[in-house]
Amino acid sequence: MTELPQSTQKKLGLVIDLDTCVGCHACVISCKGWNTENYGAPLSDQDAYGAAPSGTFLNRVHSYEVQPDTGPAQLVHFPKSCLHCEDAPCVTVCPTGASYKRVEDGIVLVNESDCIGCGLCAWACPYGARELDQAAGVMKKCTLCVDRIYNDNLPQEDHIPACVRTCPSGARHFGDLGDPESEVSQLVAQRGGVDLMPEMGTKPVNKYLPPRPKDQPPDLDVLAPFLAPIDQEPKGFLGWLDRTLDKI
Amino acid sequence: MHPAPSVIFFSVFSGLGFGLLFWLGLGWPSATGIVAFVFFAIAYVLAVGGLIASTFHLGQPKRALKAFSQWKTSWLSREAICAVAALFLMAIYGAGAVFYGQHWRVIGVLGALLSLGTVFTTSMIYAQLRTVPRWHMPLTPLNFLSLSVAGGALLAGQVTWALWLILIAGGVQLATWIIGDTRFAASGTTLATATQLGGIGQVRAFEPPHTGTNYLLREFVHVIGRRHATKLRVIALGLMVVVPVILLLVPFSHIAGGLALLAHVAGVFTARWLFFAQAEHVVGLYYGKR
């Protein structure tokens, strides 16, 4: 049923650290790898080796340039997947009940056997988290690797989403954001984690940790202008060449 | 937004069809027999044809029946239910008019209201979306409803009503465009709020996630339509309002009436194409596009 639950027992989600993400796209690849081989329809590609390749991805990494008022520009890598919103607009618009938010952990899922592929949920999502698979004709989205996190066939360390498991820089964290004592909630509190597009009223569960302030360049010595230049005038043959070419 | 032909055909034709059913249900014209049959046939071809066209953009049309289940939250589901209820009641009313020469008033009025309800639910599918600020306003349902009732009046041969309603629909359309133009800025959503990086400085999309395109860009970022938006608006308004009004003001003939209808429908098509092509989804911001 596409009515949203009043509250969920847990709020499982991701915390993404924009300070440590190096933009390697490993999470994109591991996500596609896991989710194309496991739960639901595979994530298809069209014209994969041709002139105009295109495919379904549940996680994509953008890169933004941020120019402060003073100082050099910063490059921020920005992984983006479903934020498993508390007030998920994608769920309520679904005409068939295929989209739902789980009461037990707050994960937003699509029941693919009920999806008619109308695309309205993708229209309702401000984050571009849902993509209609062009081969299967059904809506695909991040499942928070629901088939990993509760999977007793996997060793304990793999009971986290594939993207989190694979991230080499520790920029992705998984946990219960509804529990203020959880590690992820503590991290969000310490680092001032934020919601994307809060004005949309979606109340995302996933949080983003903003980049830490950059170091300022060290103050130069006040005597610096009076120091002898290190870059000296060339001598010998090069000096002659330099002077001669200047005259021409 | 991508102007999908199936959705444009659906919304224009079903809007006209249900608009005609609205007038027929009210008993204007109160035709019977073969004349009533022709009126109802036109209305059903338009309304049902539109509904069938709308299934062409589905990824899994074979499961379309499931769309009737979520009326509690989904405007799309409400639309499906409203449409079937309207078509069912109007079929009974139509049978009365065609075969028994009777106008069962209560059924007709109920069917007329449900026909309007169908157009309203269609428009709310778009108006509910905060992600497309241009659509997210009360003028969107007003725009759809006024065009449907005006087009229906034209089809139903209610010349005086059609004249005034087309003028009103034109006014609503102008307001929809002018106010719609300010909606994205008014929504307050920018790349800075999308990324929450605005506190550091000016944010610019540096590199997209992939070198190629994807579903999101194909579906939500459509730039071509906006380039000629002003010209297309003039054309749309001319065909939709000016030409039919002039043709309706001259002494009535069926040829003038037919031409007025053709011009009006062509104008509504142009306006509906712009409705999609000009609408900007906030997800485009993440790609540095609108």
Residues B22 and A221: their CA atoms lie apart, in Å, by 84
The last residue of a domain, from among B71, B105, B128 = B128
Contacts of B121 (CB under 8 A, 6+ apart): B75, B78, B79, B82
The per-residue pLDDT for range B186-198, each reduced to its tens digit, is 999 999 999 999 9
Contacts of B167 (CB under 8 A, 6+ apart): B241, B245
Residues B4 and B54: their CA atoms lie apart, in Å, by 10
CB-closest option in B202, B206, B219 to A119: B219
Name residue A35's amino acid. N
Judged against a pLDDT cut of 90, whether residue B150 lies above it is answered with yes
Q: Which pLDDT band, with edges at 50, 70 and 90, does A31 fall under?
A: very high
**Residue B45 sits in the same domain as residue B123:** yes
Q: Is A137 left (phi over 0), alpha (psi -120 to 50) or beta?
A: left
**Residue B182 sits in the same domain as residue B249:** yes
Q: What spatial distance separates the first Cα and last Cα of chain B, rounded to whole Å?
A: 10
pLDDT at B157: 87
Name residue A169's amino acid. S
Mutate to test the interface with A, among B1, B11, B60, B217 (most CBs of A within 10 A): B60
Joined together, the tokens standing for residue A83 give: 């934020």
- As a whole number, the mean pLDDT across chain A is 92
CB-closest option in B66, B76, B208 to A62: B208
Residue A166 lies in a domain: yes
Query: Where in the sequence is the domain holding A64, given as residue range(s)?
Result: 12-209
Asked if the C-beta of B193 comes within 8 angstroms of chain A's C-beta atoms, the answer is: yes
Q: Is A238 left (phi over 0), alpha (psi -120 to 50) or beta?
A: alpha
- As a whole number, the mean pLDDT across chain B is 92
**Residue B174 sits in the same domain as residue B115:** no
Residue A81 lies in a domain: yes
Q: Between A203 and B289, whose confidence is greater?
A: A203
Residues A79 and A26: their CA atoms lie apart, in Å, by 10
β A12-17/A207-209 pair status: parallel
Query: Where in the sequence is the domain holding B116, given as residue range(s)?
Result: 1-128
Mutate to test the interface with B, among A43, A123, A139 (most CBs of B within 10 A): A123
Asked if the C-beta of A24 comes within 8 angstroms of chain B's C-beta atoms, the answer is: no
| DSSP code, position A194 | B
Residues A189, A192, A193, A196: is their CA dihedral positive or negative? positive
The last residue of a domain, from among B128, B148, B169 = B128
Residue A91 contacts residue A2 (beta carbons within 8 Å): yes
Judged against a pLDDT cut of 90, whether residue A124 lies above it is answered with yes
Q: Calculate mean pLDDT across residues B72-78.
A: 93
Q: Which pLDDT band, with edges at 50, 70 and 90, does A231 fall under?
A: low
The per-residue pLDDT for range B170-184, each reduced to its tens digit, is 999 999 999 999 999
Residues B283 and B194: their CA atoms lie apart, in Å, by 9
Residues B281 and B62: their CA atoms lie apart, in Å, by 29
Residue A145 lies in a domain: yes
CA distance B89 to chain A (A): 23
Residue B142 lies in a domain: no
Q: What spatial distance separates the first Cα and last Cα of chain A, rounded to whole Å?
A: 85
- B282–A126: do the CB atoms touch at under 8 Å? yes
- B187–A76: do the CB atoms touch at under 8 Å? no
Residues A85 and A11: their CA atoms lie apart, in Å, by 9
Judged against a pLDDT cut of 70, whether residue A73 lies above it is answered with yes
Residues A81 and A141: their CA atoms lie apart, in Å, by 8
Q: Rounded to 5 degrees, what angle do the CA atoms A37, A39, A45 make?
A: 50
Residue A172 lies in a domain: yes
pLDDT at A1: 60
Three-class DSSP category at B203: strand
Show which of residues 6-65 on chain B sit within 8 Å of chain A, judged by CB atoms.
57-61, 63-64
What is the number of structural domains in chain B?
Answer: 2
What is the number of structural domains in chain A?
Answer: 1
ipTM: 0.91
Q: Is B161 left (phi over 0), alpha (psi -120 to 50) or beta?
A: alpha
- B197–A196: do the CB atoms touch at under 8 Å? no
**Residue B197 sits in the same domain as residue B244:** yes
The per-residue pLDDT for range B205-248, each reduced to its tens digit, is 999 999 889 999 999 988 777 778 899 999 999 999 999 999 98
Residue A217 lies in a domain: no
CB-closest option in B67, B129, B203 to A96: B67
Name residue A113's amino acid. S
Say what percent of chain B tops pLDDT 70: 100
Q: Which pLDDT band, with edges at 50, 70 and 90, does B253 fall under?
A: confident
pLDDT at B61: 82
- B188–A137: do the CB atoms touch at under 8 Å? no
Residue B51 lies in a domain: yes
Judged against a pLDDT cut of 80, whether residue B114 lies above it is answered with yes
Helix (H) / strand (E) element for B176: namely: helix B159-187
Say what percent of chain B tops pLDDT 90: 70
Q: Phi and psi (nearest 5°) for B35?
A: -65, -45
Q: Which pLDDT band, with edges at 50, 70 and 90, does A160 fall under?
A: very high
The last residue of a domain, from among B107, B128, B149 = B128
Judged against a pLDDT cut of 80, whether residue A224 lies above it is answered with no
- B201–A125: do the CB atoms touch at under 8 Å? no
Q: Which pLDDT band, with edges at 50, 70 and 90, does A164 fall under?
A: very high
In 3D space, the residue among A24, A123, A39, A235 whose CA is nearest the CA of residue B57 turns out to be A123
Residues A42 and A35: their CA atoms lie apart, in Å, by 7
Contacts of A44 (CB under 8 A, 6+ apart): A55, A56, A133, A134, A135, A136
Asked if the C-beta of A100 comes within 8 angstroms of chain B's C-beta atoms, the answer is: no
Name residue B240's amino acid. M
In 3D space, the residue among A9, A11, A8, A23 whose CA is nearest the CA of residue A172 turns out to be A23
Report the b/e string of A65-82 with b at 16+ CB within 10 A: bbeeeeeeebebbbbbbb
Judged against a pLDDT cut of 90, whether residue B49 lies above it is answered with no
Q: What CATH number is attached to the domain comprising A127?
A: 3.30.70.20
List Cα–Cα distances, A136 to A56, A115, A132, A203, B236, in angstroms. Answer: 11, 10, 8, 30, 38
pLDDT at A13: 96
Name residue B86's amino acid. A
Residue B14 lies in a domain: yes
Chain A residues touching B188 at Cβ < 8 A: 199
Name the residue of chain A whose CA is nearest to B55's CA.
A118
Judged against a pLDDT cut of 80, whether residue A238 lies above it is answered with yes
